Amino acid sequence: MTQSDSQPPSGQPAGASTMSGPPSSRVLPPAGSYTQPPPYPPPKKKPAWRGCLIALILILVMMTIVLLPLFVAGYMLLDSFGSDFQLAKAMATGRTTGRPRSVRTVVLRPGSGERIAVVGVKGMIVNTGAHYEQSANRIIEALKAAVKDDVCAIILDMDTQGGEVTASDEVWRQVKACREAGIPVVTCMRSMAASGGYYIAAGSDWIVANRLTFTGSIGVIMPGFNAGAMLDKIGVTPEVYRSGDMKDMLNWSRPRTDKERTYVQSLIAATFKEFAAVVADGREAYEDAEAVMEADFADGRVLTGAEALRYQLVDELGYFDDAVAKAEELGKTIDAELVGYSTVSGFLDVLMSMRSNVKANNPLRSVLPWQGVAVEAGRLYFVAPETLAW
C-alpha cells in the first residue's frame, strides 16, 4: 500500500470512511472513533400572529361557555320575574320626556279615547332598589310615569298577599299623590288583595273585587321563633352581651320576657291603629280608626269579595272589564286606550331577584320552618299569614 492509498481524500477528516466504491473497498474507522453527524437545519420560525389567533379563539370559546348560560338564565328570569307586561314590546317603544330611563310604555288595548294606565301590584310587596315584580320602587315609578303622561285614570291590577309595612305605605302614599294630581284611581282585586294589598287599595277612588277574591286580613304581624328548648337539649348555650335589657328583645335563643312581650305588642298595636286610620280615610262607612278597630274583621280574618262588600270595604263585585268601565266613567272618556308601564330590569337586577329576601343569620336556619319569600323575623308586615309556610 502506498502513502497515497493510506491518506483520506482532501477535505475529509481522518478516520472517516469513504462511501464511494464497492463495499469491499470501504475503509472502516478505527475502533473507538465515531463520525460527527451533519448539523440539523434550523427550525422554521412560525408567524407570531398565529399564536395570538389561537389564544384569541380559546378566550372566545371560554367566554361563550361561561356567559351563554348566564344570558339564557337572564332571559328566562326576565320572562318569569319581570313585569306583567311584555318586556320586548316595552323595550321597543320610546320613553316619555322626563320619565326614568327604566320605564317603558306598553299598549295593552288600543282605543280611540284617552289613555288609562294599568299598574300591576303583584306578589309580596317589599322595599328594594331593584326593579323586579314585587318591588315597591317599580310600582311607584310606574305611578309617577302615569302622572307625567297625564292619563285620564289609573287601574291598580292587584293580586298580592300584602308585604312590608313601610313598602305598602309608600305605595299608598303615591296612590294618594295621583289622586291629588286629579287622576282617579280604580283598584281591581284578582285572586288576593289582602292586608298590605288592601292598605294600598284603600287609597283608591273605587274598588272592584271578584266575589271569590281573598281580601281583608286587616292587621299587623311580626314573625319570629324561639329555639331555646332545642339548644338546651343539644347542650348549646348562646352568649349575648348587650347594653340594655331590650337590646336583644327578639333573640331567637331564649324565651321572651314579659317586658319584651308588652313592648312588642305595643308596637303592633300602634301600627295597627295606623292601618285602621288608612281604612277609615278611604271608606265612608267608617268614621275613624276606632270604628274600624271595633269591626268584626279587625281580628285579622281573611274575607271573600262578597263578605268585603257586605262590610263596605269594596264598592262593587265584578271583573277587570268592570274596573275598566268605572275608570272610563271617572276619567270621562270612552273606548280608552289601556297602557301599562314596564320596568326594564338590568342584568344585575335579574340576578338579585333570584336571591331570597330571607336572611339566615343563625346556624339553625336549615332545620327551622320555612318562613316564605321576603319574610324576615323582627320586621313588621301587613301580610295574610295564611299565605306563609310556618
Q: Which residues contact 349 (CB under 8 A, 6 or more apart)?
A: 130, 131, 132
Rounded CA separation 48/280 (Å): 80
SS3 192: strand
At CA 206, angle to CA 89 and CA 339, rounded to 5? 10
What Å distances lie between residue 360 and 74, 142, 183, 210, 250, CA to CA? 25, 32, 43, 38, 15
Residue in 83, 135, 168, 195 annotated catalytic? 195
Residue in 17, 247, 266, 356 annotated catalytic? 247
**Whose grid coordinates read 470501504?**
26
Residue 379 burial (CB count, 10 A): 17
Which helix or strand (DSSP H or E) is residue 169 part of?
helix 165-180
At CA 228, angle to CA 227 and CA 232, rounded to 5? 120
SS3 155: strand
Active-site residue 247, yes or no? yes
Active-site residue 45, yes or no? no
Strands 206-209 and 316-317 turn out to be: parallel
Rounded CA separation 91/79 (Å): 13
Residue 75 burial (CB count, 10 A): 12
**Whose grid coordinates read 287609597?**
203
Rounded CA separation 363/369 (Å): 13
Name the residue among 111, 113, 114, 108 with its Cα closest to residue 157.
Answer: 108
Residue 335 and residue 183 in contact, taking contact as beta carbons nearer than 8 Å? no
40: left (phi over 0), alpha (psi -120 to 50) or beta: beta
The cell numbers describing 225, all together, are 321563633
Active site residues: 195, 247
